[in-house]
Amino acid sequence: MNSMIMEHNMIYKAKLKKEFLKQKDGYLFILPQMLLFLVFMVYPVFEGLRLSFYNVGFVTKTFVGFRNYIELFKDSIFIKAVLNNLQFVLIVTTLSVVFGLFISTAVFDKTSKYMSFIRGCYYLPVMITMVAFSITWLWMVNPAMGLVSHVLNSIGIQNVNIMGNSTVALYILIVVMWLFNLGEAVILYLAAIIGIPQEQFEAAEIDGASRFMVIRFIIIPLVSPTTFYFVILCFIDVIKVFLAVHLMTAGGPNYATTTMMYLCYQEAFVMNNMGKASAIGMMMFVIVSLLSIIAMTRLKAKN
Amino acid sequence: MALKSQKIKRDKLDIVSNIVVLFFALINIFPLYWMFSNSLKSSNSITRMPPEWIPQHPSFDNYVQLLSSQNVISWAFNSVFISVLTTVLVVFISSLAAYAFAKLDFYGNKVIFVIFISTLMIPKDVYIIPLFKIMQNFNLINTRLGVIIPNVALPFGVFILKQFFDSLPNALRESAKIDGASEWTVYLRIIIPMAKAGIGALFILVFVRMWNDYLWQLIMLSKDSLKTLQLGIASLQTENVPNLAFKITGASLAAIPMIIVFLCFQSYFTRGITLGAVKE
Amino acid sequence: MSKARKILSLVLLVLMVSTTLSMYGCTTNSTTKDTGEKTQVGSKDTKQSQEPVKITLWTAPDWKGVYDPTVAGANYGDFYKFAGKDFVKENSNVTVNVESVPGADRDAKLSIAIQSHTQPDIYVGADFTMFDYVHNGLIVPLNDVITDADKQDIPASIWDGVTANGNIYMFPYYTETGHMALNVDLFKQAGAEALIPKGGANTIVRWTPDEFKDALRAVKKLDGVYPFAFYCGSTQGDTYNILLLEMFGAKLFNKDGTQVTINDANGVKALEFIKSLKDEGLLAPGAESLNVLDVYQLFLNKKTAVSIFNNVNYDALNNGLKAKSIQEPFNIQMAFLPSAGDPMCYAYAMGSVVFDSGNELQTQTAKQFVKFYTNEPYVDASMSMLPLRKSVAQKLLDPLKVKIAESAEFSVSFSQKAPGYLKLRASLFPELQAFMTGQKTAQQALDSYAKNANAILKDGVCKFSPINGKK
């Protein structure tokens, strides 16, 4: 009897040990990532949150509670920046998804050389880097020396600065961001469509479906996971829009193209107020989370 | 896989669509063409109106001048070094974690994963200043390693790979375990080879993001020989030297490495990379 | 093999944990500086002069090469590296590290550097950009490295601009001056030579706003050339904008520098004058998007007939003509900015400030280095820019350059000692943009600017400030 209990105990201990060993593997595997994550991401985020409650100068730091946030909400420039960001994110993402699907469904069944060419063309803005892309566009829209003004002049519209119109300037930046993100959309969607099993298409062909119907009812639903991921990635990438604004318009004219990240940069490095800058950072986080949650629930519902 | 055999009926819609696609493709190419062709001109021919669509006296003078007076080679090297090293580290570390989240059973697996992924939405720019202070404590300011490490900490890789690993069949793994293989062996010998496509996709995505990571590089690197290509080119824009051609040439030069990389890694895009399981 | 890997990951783990722990062990206000790779860093406070000291110098990218900027491979900061080599020979425990920081990034980089205690020891740049740091007590006075001979050699008004409460915060070295220039060849082409103010090519002529406008009108007929270019796309070059706003006698600040007064009737008149130029088609299009570099570019590419013009452009023009990258002929006439009263131009003092590094030895060494390169024989190098020392200016070969250097007496000094000046700049150009795009009237734009500016001034003056003797 005793020996049976002992045996049970041993088996039980062996099982626990095996369980523990199994657990240990899991923890060991995630350890490097988690460690880096905690030190280089979690801690700074909390520190940023803490800083946002202070008024931080070069050498002084005073606790001000929610004052930074209240000032932000009262600031019409900040509100404008938030609205600009929303326009950026929503327009760029929607256009990227729509065009990404459009382009990839138009070319996925052509020769691979053609596909590579298209992929390359659309990915070009990313390859040449945002800096070079923005600089080239900036120079093309330069009112005194640029290509666009020359074209306008030759059709009789003289002395117009398209970047001087608040709305147009914003839309030009949106176009720049859109072209930049479109490349990734094309690549992801093309890859996803290629991954669709052949049987789906064969079945459709047998049923006599038109190309459009195949696209609409087979391809698009099947790549919806890609859509889902791309939308989230796009939100994250576009909410941070900074370079295009910094290099092309400096937030102008008259704050028309200011974005939250640009304001954050100004507050941090020109106004030297890290507290306010951190507050703007926190607001960016809140807004992008809200957008993502909304997107996730709506996309999940569609599925 | 499913390329040529995926022919479905071509019709008028298809032809029109492709014309539109090509049109927009040209819109994308045009800035690049404009940039390159102007880099071959001298400063005053660039501003001439009407513009020279094709350079009349093309020459590589600007390139020679730029390369000899600036650290362009160092910049390019730094960009490549940082991007490649980050990507390699990300692939290694996040695939370990993604494998664990996808296949291994440990207490808190789901909870940790959800918390981890939810931070995906926090742009690095939000906490960039406290992060900078931490890097200073580690004495990593003005070093390339300092640029790399916080990017490896991001949950991006795990986000991409976990879904991919989820879709990998368990059969091989289970039979290996029955044979007594440790998790590490399973990971190395079985999962990684199966996941090549996913890893390839991750490689591209991370590489490109790192290449374009302007703000963090700007803050961390002030020594000219350590700057990345983007930083160097951007700094050319604000110099007092009124040589327009110089600046455009800089932008053109910055484009070249990535184009080469893309051409080399084309093959990774032709495989079917599905993010997330394809719905059956 | 799996065992080895497991050990490796364990080792990695231990390494990471230990570095994380050591981070909390580090003092947050580190007195050591590290801006380079992980080489030997200057030590804590000791009395020994054998201790290795590392001096970091940041410079604005104004000045290429040592004595001659057209030498192949000349780059920004070369002069300091050159002087640094000699300094290191005499002081073997010192290493000198030189970096050039573009103007647009300067504020950001200095801000980050200061907050993370990685600020450079020496910064070489314009006086007005440094005063915010003086106000925050970050810059040390240089009185002990400046001799009476130095004080005699540089104009008193320049010293005045860098002194506060008897403490001299910058050692002025060279100056950047800003005027205007006319492209004489374009005027000849338009048959408008008569409208160029008289004086001769080697002088700087003066003109009133009306004469300025008439000259612009006369060249309007030229094809593919704009008479003038105004810009307000970004903060760079705002000094010119302020001088233009002052053309009818308005002043940016009141006497104590505590209030902005540019929005008085004369300021509004000046802004409306600029608008009238636009309405008559005398300006390059898109002033709200152009920045100062675009405008220099336009002039040097012969696309504008009249332009703002500083001494850096003057050198660039001459070097370009020599190197054939700018085509002959290119004859210019230099002019002051148009004004109803005395002629106007600006002259910044460009020089070196020393940051308080927290380490006595380091700061002292930095000061010594500044003294080193601002004296013979290195001071002659300032001739490749516009030297401030009278003894050096006399050695200049170009008579026009001498005139330019002399015109510093007409420089309008706007009170650059006002705290928060850099923030003020940032609120001016959006107002100008709003005005140029017709969203605000001149009065509205200037009033709005004055309101923001006064708030910034008030905020700055209240802070800790050695200027107010609160030190």
First-to-final CA distance of chain B: 17
Residues of B in contact with A175 (CB under 8 A): none
Per the CB < 8 A criterion, the answer to whether B155 and B202 are in contact is no
Size of interface B-C (CB pairs under 8 A): 99
Nearest CA to B74 among B223, B203, B213, B219?
A: B223
Please check whether residues B13 and B150 belong to one and the same domain.
Answer: no
Q: What is the pLDDT of residue A92?
A: 94
Domain enclosing residue B178, as ranges: 66-270
Percent share of chain A, pLDDT over 90: 14
CB contact under 8 A, B34 and A195: no
Q: What is the pLDDT of residue B8?
A: 52
Please check whether residues B233 and B189 belong to one and the same domain.
Answer: yes
Percent share of chain B, pLDDT over 90: 4
Question: Strands C332-335 and C204-205: what pairing?
Answer: parallel
Q: What is the pTM of this model?
A: 0.79
Average pLDDT per consecutive 10 residues, chain C (471 residues; last block may be shorter):
46 47 35 33 42 86 72 75 87 85 75 78 85 82 86 79 82 86 90 84 87 91 88 85 89 78 89 91 87 86 89 82 80 89 83 88 88 81 76 77 76 67 83 89 91 83 43 30
CATH topology for C53-176+348-410?
A: D-Maltodextrin-Binding Protein; domain 2 (3.40.190)
On whether residue B240 sits in a domain, the answer given is yes
CB contact under 8 A, A30 and B34: no
Which of C70, C100, C105 best probes binding to B when mutated, by most B CB atoms within 10 angstroms? C105
Q: What share of chain B is helix, strand, coil (3-state, %, to 5)?
A: 75, 0, 25
CB contact under 8 A, B242 and C118: no
Question: Min CA distance, B73 vs chain A (Å)?
Answer: 16
Q: What is the pLDDT of residue B89?
A: 93
First-to-final CA distance of chain C: 66
Cβ neighbours of residue B64 under 8 Å, at least 6 residues apart?
none
Q: What is the pLDDT of residue A147?
A: 80
Cβ neighbours of residue C48 under 8 Å, at least 6 residues apart?
none
Q: Which two tokens stand for residue C180?
A: 């205007």
Q: Does A1 touch chain C (CB under 8 A)?
A: no
CATH code assigned to A67-302: 1.10.3720.10
Q: Which two tokens stand for residue A120?
A: 């390359």
Please check whether residues B57 and B72 belong to one and the same domain.
Answer: no
Q: Name which of A32, A109, A150 is nearest B7 (Cβ-Cβ).
A: A109
* Domain residue extents for chain A: 2-51, 67-302
- Neighbors of chain C with 3 or more C-beta pairs under 8 Å: A, B
Q: What is the pLDDT of residue C28?
A: 32
Q: Name which of A32, A254, A268 is nearest C437 (Cβ-Cβ).
A: A254
SS3 B32: helix
Residues of A in contact with B122 (CB under 8 A): 41, 45, 285, 288
CB contact under 8 A, A123 and B262: yes
CB contact under 8 A, B218 and C108: yes
Q: What is the pLDDT of residue C114?
A: 79
Question: Min CA distance, B193 vs chain A (Å)?
Answer: 18
Please check whether residues B58 and B152 belong to one and the same domain.
Answer: no
A102 to chain B: nearest residue by CA?
B17
On whether residue B280 sits in a domain, the answer given is no
CB atoms under 10 Å from CB of A253, counted, come to 28
CB contact under 8 A, C297 and A269: no
Q: Does A58 touch chain C (CB under 8 A)?
A: yes
A128 to chain B: nearest residue by CA?
B255
SS3 A247: helix
Question: Strands C386-387 and C204-205: what pairing?
Answer: unpaired
CB contact under 8 A, B224 and C100: yes
Q: Name which of B130, B150, B252 is nearest A47 (Cβ-Cβ).
A: B130
pLDDT per residue, tens digit, chain B (280 aa), is 444 444 555 677 788 888 888 898 888 888 888 888 888 877 666 666 666 777 777 778 778 877 877 778 888 889 889 999 999 999 999 888 888 888 777 777 888 888 887 787 777 777 877 788 788 778 888 888 999 999 898 888 888 888 778 777 777 777 777 777 777 777 777 777 777 777 877 887 788 888 888 888 888 887 778 888 888 887 776 665 556 777 778 878 877 877 887 777 766 654 444 444 333 2
Residues of A in contact with C301 (CB under 8 A): 145
SS3 C353: strand
Which of B128, B137, B214, B240 best probes binding to C when mutated, by most C CB atoms within 10 angstroms? B240
Q: What is the pLDDT of residue A171?
A: 92
Residue C449 CA to residue C442 CA, distance in Å, equals: 11
Per-residue pLDDT of A110-126, as tens digits, reads: 887 888 888 888 888 88
Per-residue pLDDT of B191-214, as tens digits, reads: 777 777 778 778 877 888 888 888
Q: What is the pLDDT of residue C461?
A: 59
Residues of C in contact with A141 (CB under 8 A): 289
Q: Which two tokens stand for residue A4?
A: 């049976």
Question: Min CA distance, A162 vs chain B (Å)?
Answer: 18
Which of B11, B12, B15, B21 best probes binding to A when mutated, by most A CB atoms within 10 angstroms? B21
CB contact under 8 A, A30 and B101: yes
Question: Min CA distance, C144 vs chain A (Å)?
Answer: 26
Q: Name which of C13, C287, C464 is nearest A31 (Cβ-Cβ).
A: C13
Q: Name which of C36, C61, C101 is nearest B240 (Cβ-Cβ).
A: C61
CB contact under 8 A, A226 and B274: yes
Per-residue pLDDT of A156-199, as tens digits, reads: 777 777 788 888 889 999 999 999 899 888 888 887 887 777 88
On whether residue B132 sits in a domain, the answer given is yes
Per the CB < 8 A criterion, the answer to whether C297 and A139 are in contact is no
Question: Min CA distance, B38 vs chain A (Å)?
Answer: 10
Q: What is the 3-state secondary structure (H, E, C) of C109-130?
A: HHHHHHHCCCCCCEEEEEHHHH
Question: Min CA distance, C227 vs chain A (Å)?
Answer: 12
Please compute the mean of the pLDDT values over residues A75-80 and round it to a whole number: 90
CB contact under 8 A, C19 and B138: yes
Domain CATH for B188: 1.10.3720.10
On whether residue B278 sits in a domain, the answer given is no
C414 class by beta-carbon count within 10 Å (0-12 exposed, 13-18 middle, 19+ buried):
buried
On whether residue B275 sits in a domain, the answer given is no
The question of ipTM being above 0.85 is answered as no
User: How many domains are contained in chain B?
Assistant: 2
Q: Name which of A136, A188, A228 is nearest B34 (Cβ-Cβ).
A: A136
CB contact under 8 A, C286 and A142: yes
Nearest CA to A181 among A258, A228, A124, A142?
A: A124
Residue C352 CA to residue C358 CA, distance in Å, equals: 18
Sequence-separated contacts (24+) of B36-45 with Cβ below 8 Å:
B36/B252, B38/B245, B38/B248, B39/B63, B39/B245, B39/B248, B39/B249, B39/B251, B39/B252, B41/B245, B42/B245, B42/C325, B43/B242, B43/B243, B43/B244, B43/B245, B43/B246, B43/C301, B43/C325, B43/C326, B44/C301, B44/C302, B44/C326, B44/C327
Please check whether residues B105 and B178 belong to one and the same domain.
Answer: yes
Residues of C in contact with B136 (CB under 8 A): 30, 116-118
Residues of B in contact with C25 (CB under 8 A): none
Question: Min CA distance, C114 vs chain B (Å)?
Answer: 11
Residue B91 CA to residue B83 CA, distance in Å, equals: 12
Please check whether residues B54 and B159 belong to one and the same domain.
Answer: no
Q: What is the pLDDT of residue C2?
A: 44
Question: Min CA distance, C364 vs chain A (Å)?
Answer: 22
Per-residue pLDDT of A278-302, as tens digits, reads: 888 888 888 877 887 887 787 666 6
CB contact under 8 A, A29 and B252: no
Residues of B in contact with C36 (CB under 8 A): 142, 223
Q: Provide Rg for chain B, Cα atoms.
A: 24
Question: Min CA distance, A270 vs chain C (Å)?
Answer: 6
CB contact under 8 A, B43 and C298: no
Phi, psi of C176 (to 5 degrees): -110, 125
Please compute the mean of the pLDDT values over residues A12-27 and round it to a whole number: 74
Q: Does A111 touch chain C (CB under 8 A)?
A: no
Q: What is the pLDDT of residue C54?
A: 87
Residues of A in contact with B153 (CB under 8 A): 33, 36-37, 39-41
Please check whether residues B50 and B187 belong to one and the same domain.
Answer: no
Per-residue pLDDT of B139-155, as tens digits, reads: 888 888 999 999 898 88
Domain limit, last residue, from B63, B96, B113: B63
Which of A152, A157, A272 best probes binding to C when mutated, by most C CB atoms within 10 angstroms? A272
